[in-house]
Structure formats: structure tokens, C-alpha cells
Amino acid sequence: MFDLVLGTNNQKKLVELRLLLPERHISLTTLAEIPESLDVEETGATFTENAALKATEQAKHLGRWVLAEDSGLTVDALKGDPGIYSARYAGTHGDDEANNDKLLAELENVPAEKRTAKFNCYLCLSDPDGNIRLEEHGTCGGVIATSRSGKAGFGYDPLFVIPEYHRTFGELDLTVKRAISHRSRALRSFVPKLMRLIGNLS
């Protein structure tokens, strides 16, 4: 079994990661299960840089393989904001309600055809010495609604409409979200590369 640490404390992200990683080949441990894990400061200027920081710093500290991810929402009318600040857009990290309120306020006078946006996910795998061994990313395009709809998911999901389904991520069930989300798209590209790497290490 390949020992892999999932470098996030976000329980809802962990659910998606666990569903998409092959647990019969990989022993998964979360940061919540490791008391001595670091709280890595996200000082990067891009999703890629933050994912790399979270993976390499944690891996060197723990002496273990670490898979980290950085993800967020980019809105075209806001020139890519909230971007890397998605989780703390309104000031407090993880305050989904405040973040959604701010996004709605920022887009208050923006017409429907200009409310296009993307969810982005960047993955980074570091070996125990802090060397980046794999990177991958995935995106999912949508439109920002004018009001919340749906209780599923987290973050900006109640505002993020998937045009093909005419529903927000907050309204779609987990099976559909798992098929089309930015995180699942990144992982579908990442997992075959990870399995090849594991094969080469053994």
C-alpha cells in the first residue's frame, strides 16, 4: 500500500478526494489524523504556487508523501477575482455566507451574459524530501446566479450554475457533481499518473 497524506483540513474537500482516489492501492491519511501536521501559510500568488507550498512544506515536515490542492472561483467580470482569495473573500476564512454575499454584491449590476465564471482545482504531489513529483489541474465552467439555490455542496456552490443542467452545484446531487466538478476532472487526470509513479517506485 502506498502511504499518502491528503494535505487539507477541509472535510468537504476530503469527501470528494476520498471518493476519487483508489483506496485499495493507497492508504490515505488526513491532516486531522496527524497532530504534528503544519498549518502552511498560503503565500503564493497563484493556485499552483499555493498547492505546491502546501504539498512540499507538509511533506518535508512529516517525511511523507503529501497530496495538496488549491482551488477557487474565478469570475470573468471581476478580472479573475476572488481567485486565490476565494475562501476568505469577505475577510474571514471559510465564511461561505459572507463570501457569497460579497460576490452577489460585486455582481449586482452585471447582466446574465457577463456573469461567466470557472471553478479551478490545482493538485500537487510532493515526495517526503519536498520534491514536486506530479501536478495536475482541472476546471469547470459556469455562470454566477443572482441568488442562492440549493443546500448541497459548500463554498460558492449555491451560486454556481452549470448551464447544461440549468442548476447550481448546490442543487445537483453528489454523483453528478463528482462527474463534472473541477476537482474530479483534475483527479481523473492525476490518478493514472499517480498509479504509474507508484508502479515505478515498487
Per domain, the residue ranges of the chain are: 2-201
Considering the domain 2-201, what is its CATH architecture?
Answer: Alpha-Beta Complex (3.90)
* Residues 64-79 pLDDT 10s: 999 999 999 999 999 9
- On the question of pLDDT at 5 being above 90, the answer is yes
Residues taking part in catalysis? 70
* Three-state secondary-structure class, residue 75: strand
Q: How confident is the model at residue 20 (pLDDT cuts 50, 70, 90)?
A: confident
What is the percent of the chain where pLDDT is above 90?
78
pLDDT of amino acid 200:
92
What mean pLDDT value characterizes the chain? 93
Rounded-to-integer distance, Cα 147 and Cα 2, Å? 44
Please tell me which residue, 160 or 21, carries the higher pLDDT value. 160
Q: Which three cell numbers stand for residue 125?
A: 504531489
- On the question of pLDDT at 10 being above 90, the answer is no
C-alpha neighbours within 13 Å on the C-beta side of residue 171: 13
pLDDT of amino acid 8:
81
13 annotated among ligand-binding-site residues: yes
156 annotated among ligand-binding-site residues: yes
Burial of 147 from C-beta contacts in 10 A (0-12 / 13-18 / 19+): exposed
- On the question of pLDDT at 16 being above 80, the answer is no
Rounded-to-integer distance, Cα 68 and Cα 45, Å? 16
pTM over 0.75: yes
Closest CA to 10 of 72, 62, 82, 65: 72
pLDDT of amino acid 19:
79
DSSP H or E segment with residue 108? none
Neighbours of 131 (CB within 10 A): 12
Q: How confident is the model at residue 15 (pLDDT cuts 50, 70, 90)?
A: confident
Q: How confident is the model at residue 28 (pLDDT cuts 50, 70, 90)?
A: confident
pLDDT of amino acid 143:
98
127 annotated among ligand-binding-site residues: no
129 annotated among ligand-binding-site residues: no
* Distances, alpha carbon 13 to alpha carbons 64, 79, 92, 105, 131, in Å: 20, 26, 19, 26, 24
Q: What backbone torsions phi and psi does residue 142 show, to the nearest 5 degrees? A: -165, -165
**Amino acid (one-letter) located at 94:** G
Please tell me which residue, 10 or 185, carries the higher pLDDT value. 185
pLDDT of amino acid 169:
95
Q: How confident is the model at residue 127 (pLDDT cuts 50, 70, 90)?
A: very high
